Structure 1
Amino acid sequence: LGDERVHDIANYIRKGKMWEAFTSPEVPVLLIDEIDKADIEFPNDLLQELDRMEFHVYETKETVKAAERPIVIITSNNEKELPDAFLRRCFFHYIKFPDRETMQAIVDVHFPGIQKILVSKAMDIFYDIREVPGLKKKPSTSELLDWLKLLLHEEMPLDVLQNRDPTKAIPPLHGALLKNEQDVMLFERLAFMAKRQQGK
């Protein structure tokens, strides 16, 4: 404990990405991902610091000012409304959900050499699920990739995916696609109703 550094709190402060961006000698790009998942006050707090291009470090009583104004990219899944004052200062760009061709390219990057027929059948089910009315959480790209990984690991036979309507039979390994209990119950109910119709 005789080391003087022990008594300097600055030695225990970890610089975050904004700090790194503000002290960069070149124009940096700062990515703030999924801001809608942050605390409700975070966008307003961030707005103040981006407006001033500086922030205060309470522990060391220093103010960090941006050497170069960073290019700030902020993403949101639209799960929570962002403050109007915050949105007024943003240039909005909406990214559409990938179509089948784009999704195929994404899958090829993650699973080079995967059977095209497997991907085709899996994507049929995946996009059909996304179109079912009443879903609380539509499966996204990451869910599709996780599902394909499981299908490959389990060596799922193609006939299990062949001509499979997700509204008539819940998809195999559906836990990778459906991440909401109400959605699982919805598909179980649809499958039950389909079986009743077949029995008539």
Structure 2
Amino acid sequence: MPAGEFPIYRGTGTVDATGERIRRRAEPPPWRVFDGGPVTRLDRDAPVGRRLPDRARSAPYQADEATVRMVNVALHLRRPLLVTGDPGTGKSTLAYAVAHELRLGSVLRWAITSRSTLGSGLYHYDAVGRIEEASTRPGEEADIGRFIRLGPLGTAFAPYELPRVLLIDEIDKGDLDLPNELLDVFEVGEFGIPELERIAEGRPEVRVRPSDQGDRVTVRDGRVRCKEFPFVVMTSNGEREFPPAFLRRCVQLDLAQPDRERLQAIVEAHLGAEALTESAGLITDFLGRRERAQLATDQLLNAVYLLHLAGGAGEADRDELVEVVLRELSGPA
């Protein structure tokens, strides 16, 4: 078996213009091989989301060595990445940064709430719409694929030529059973759509809509099965513990709060060198406050923007504006 190239994701934010790095992954472990089809082409130039810069430029996300290493471990092992850390450490943004750098198209985002279920992430069947169409066109066989839309999770496991990027945001807000329910999909890389399984003998292939704006994908024999295991980023604020069986099947990454050097790099990447030069004192102030209270990096960016780019304060009211923007997150509303 030929060896792969380990640093597929390098964390520089510079787009892989040739698009070949993702293809130089090591062959999957024998227990992580999937053979779904028919294969759907991925629109690699689709916007990833979150208004990241043009593909010719670098993304402003600043990844440290530990983050780069664990992302590559997840990519090679075809395992989901569970990312924990305080608010504002860049947990969600990591998914967009990887999609941006490796040209993996739009990020599929599944925002978890207390009402989220596995089924809602997999697909939605518009039974009412199908009945209404049948009543207006008696005798005609409706295209059932028009009434099935894959959810973000379901779209990620469609048989694309390259891995889709799936962000499962704040998984710890979901039902206690959700992590265990996800395990089966993560392990077998497929799921069934009962409405299509019932008609599979007569219609073995049906084209259904993905959750994003891409072309329809083909479902064979009523089952969605991946060809390339998606790059899955699951974020958690550490509000609860996960079952050992779930953790065992994930690559785990805990994002630390950025130090001064990384904060400077983040400010410069987002707002430019001039803003960085003018905000040295503000960064020192932010670090001092963060030692005493919970603060997020985007609060610092907001403060730098208001004070140095938006002309939001003179010397007289600078301190008051800083107090408003750098308010402790765990304090009273």
TM bin (shorter chain) = 0.5 to 0.7
The corresponding residue for 1:98 is: 258
Q: Which runs of 5+ in 1 are unaligned?
A: 165-170, 186-200
Within a 5 Å distance, the mapping from 1:164-175 to structure 2 comes to 172-175=321-324
1:43 to 160, 167, 179: 179
Query: Partners in 2 of 1:83 and 1:69 — Cα distance?
Result: 22
Alignment: residue pair count: 171
Compare the two structures and name the one with the higher strand fraction. 2
Partner in structure 2 of residue 142 of structure 1: 298
Indicate which of 157, 177, 181 corresponds to 1:22.
157
TM-score computed with the length of structure 1 as normaliser: 0.67
Instruction: Give identity over the alignment, percent.
Output: 31
Shift of 1:74: 2.8
Contact 1:31 1:73 in 2 (8 A): yes
User: After superposition, what is the alpha-carbon deviation per residue over 1:139-170, rounded to whole angstroms, capped at 9, x for unaligned?
Assistant: 21222222322334243235765xx7xxxxxx
Q: Structure 1 segments of 4 or more deviating over 4 A?
A: 158-161
Highest relative contact order (Cα 8 Å, sep 6+), 1 or 2? 2
Asked if the contact 2:268–2:276 (Cα under 8 Å) also holds between the matched residues in 1, the reply is no
- Aligned partner of 2:255: which letter? I
Residue by residue, what CA displacement relative to the aligned partner does 1:9-41 show, whole Å, maximum 9, x if unpaired?
Answer: 531332234333323343415332434354123
Q: TM-score, normalised by structure 2?
A: 0.44
Q: Any residues of structure 2 matched to 1:53-92 within 5 Å, and which?
A: 53-61=189-197, 62-92=222-252
The structure with more helix, counted as a fraction of residues = 1
The offset of 1:183, in angstroms, is 1.8
Q: Which has the larger radius of gyration?
A: 1
Unaligned runs of at least 5 residues, structure 2: 1-135, 198-221
Measure, in 1, the Cα distance between the counterparts of 2:282 and 2:317. 10
1:142 is matched by which residue type in structure 2?
Answer: D
Structural RMSD (CA)? 3.1
CA contact (8 A) 1:36 1:79 kept: no
